Amino acid sequence: MVNLKYAQTNTPSPNQEWRRLSDAERRARVIDVLKTGMATVNGAVIIAAAKEDGQIIVNLAEPLPAGKRGQLLLDLEEFLKKTIDPGLAVWLEPLGDRNSLRNLRGIEVKA
Amino acid sequence: MSAAVQTREGALILDSHKLSHHFDRVQAWEAGERIAPVSVDMALTRACGAMCSFCYAMMQESQARSSIKTAHALNLVDDFAAIGVRSVSLVSDGESTLSKAYVPFIQHAAELGIDVGNATNAWEWEPEKIEQVLPHLTWVRFTVAAGRPESYAQIMYKGPEHTEVFDRAMKHIKYAVDLKKRKQLSVTLGIQMVLMPQFKDEIIPFAQLGVDLGVDYAVIKHCSDDEQHTLGIDYSKYEELYDLLTQAEAMSNEQTKVIVKWSKIRDGDKPPYKRFYGPAFLLQISGSGLVAPSGMFFNARHSKLHIGNYTEERFIDIWKSDRYWRAMNYLASPAFDAQTMMGTLPIQHYVSVALDRHAKGIERLQPATGPKPLHANFL
């Protein structure tokens, strides 16, 4: 099942066309392709940022169980890689620790 | 990677892997089969009464914390047995001794022939609980951040004046050491220091404490950080500690071995592998019930690798699902770069290094020969 042929392959980076766009233009591009090409995901996610290094930061419009959110986000990433740039990767906004004791340490999870 | 350390009870491997003892799984994996993990690392809760400054659990919050009932935990054990999981370590992202499921989980796993290990701060691990679980455990590793009470309390709790937590932990560890001797139990007892470079003055007192307690080992390991460097670990600083670490190892005696996880300390923050093959063999489950390939992906940030939650559906169905293998395949694909997309040196590090070298043909894994090391079922 697991494919071992990619052990030495480099992970693609975004091409120059993507890098040349402004933050707003990149975000708009992602929103556009979702509207036209991926009705199932469009509306379920909110595009928060589309960074020069290919990181697409999203939020879920409403909470989804673990069994569904993983699939939705992998579908989204596959679609964006195919339609815009193979160097894109989808991430959700990180969450901070809910443990009240540990929070006394003042550590904030970096985005 | 470092060789086994000889203890009075056998060869102890803490700074390497034991894949050769599970060569059947390696062959099946290479042949493309959907293998069951050899080991699962998990917690029965996300809760913890400590506030360790090095704790990776601070970076492991997912969307929701499900309450894990005893029935969920026992079903999970049944599913592990059904698919062929050989060991479970209660470590992961919570203090499992706080869960009501803790004792029944361990006893049930032992009944079904699954080896169980446990990492704990031992604060709520009182004699009654110790008596109930110790005969069924393969190993217990106590988190002991420092050898001196004040430093311990500062690193693991609210401040140096709270030495009562140190006293409580020591009382319980000593009880376990005595019980092991009294009942001649086969369980291995160790203490672990998670070394942040600024804790260098604690290295020798920690080693001395291990010797004084009479535990089987005292291990010192690096501190993991996430890919955004939330904890701010400066891995270049570890090299300055090599002399102290070597001195600590030299404090080993017949009863207690002081062990440094040199491989991880030297590997620093960048793994040699790009693909992450380890989770298929060593899966992690959060104390929130979340099943994800690795604890590196528990945080909501990594939601695309969230596979399911065993409080919502049976683990065996999650394992059999295409979702599970889609996540594993993603980690083996060029879309995933282990050097930039996850935290440093995960629990699957040793296994992943070996599988990567195997896949690249640099060093093919071979079936084990000779006597089994201690804890062979824990990768």
Residues B228, A110: C-beta atoms closer than 8 Å: yes
SS3 A22: coil
Residue pair B45/B72 in contact by the 8 Å Cβ criterion: no
Report d(CA B92, CA B94) in Å as an integer.
6
Strand pairing category for B282-285 and A55-60: unpaired
Looking at chain B, list the stretches that DSSP marks H as alpha helix, in order from N- to C-terminal side: 23-30, 70-83, 102-111, 127-133, 149-156, 164-183, 203-213, 242-249, 262-267, 315-320, 322-331, 349-360
Residue of A nearest to B274 (CA): A7
Amino acid in the structure at residue A57: I
Contacts of B306 in chain A (CB under 8 A): 66-67, 69-70
Nearest CB neighbour to A11, from listed B50, B231, B274? B274
The whole-angstrom separation of Cα B60 and Cα A99 is: 11
- Residues of B with Cβ-Cβ distance to A3 under 8 angstroms: 329, 332-333
A28-47: average pLDDT: 88
pLDDT of amino acid B278: 97
**Would you say B8 and B255 are in contact if contact means Cβ atoms under 8 Å apart?**
yes
Residue B114: what pLDDT? 98
Looking at residues A16-29, what average pLDDT do you find? 97
Mean pLDDT for back-to-back runs of 10 residues, chain B (379 residues) = 81 91 96 96 95 84 85 98 98 96 98 98 97 98 96 95 97 98 97 93 97 96 85 88 96 96 82 96 97 96 97 97 97 96 91 95 93 94
How is residue A82 written in tokens?
Answer: 């195919």
Q: CA nearest A109 in B: which residue?
A: B230
Structure confidence at residue B1 (pLDDT): 52
Which candidate from A8, A67, A109 shows the least CB-CB separation from B313? A67
pLDDT confidence of residue B64: 77
Residues of B with Cβ-Cβ distance to A60 under 8 angstroms: 303
Backbone φ and ψ for B112, nearest 5 degrees, come out as -90, 5
CB nearest A70 (choices: B32, B61, B323): B323
Distance CA B61, CA B51 (A): 15
Question: CB of B302 within 8 Å of any CB in chain A?
Answer: yes
A8 interfacial to chain B (CB closer than 8 Å): yes
How crowded is residue A100: how many other Cβ atoms within 10 Å of its Cβ? 8
H or E element in which residue B142 lies: strand B139-143
pLDDT score for A1: 62
Chain B residues with beta carbon closer than 8 angstroms to that of A91: 301-302, 304
Between the CA of residue B127 and those of B21, B89, B94, B174, B192, what are the distances in Å? 35, 21, 21, 10, 21
Share the mean pLDDT of chain A: 91
Q: Whole-model pTM?
A: 0.94
Instruction: Please provide the DSSP assignment of B276-301 as one string.
Output: --GGGTEEEE-TTSEEES-GGG-SGG
B177 CA: distance to closest CA in chain A (Å): 29
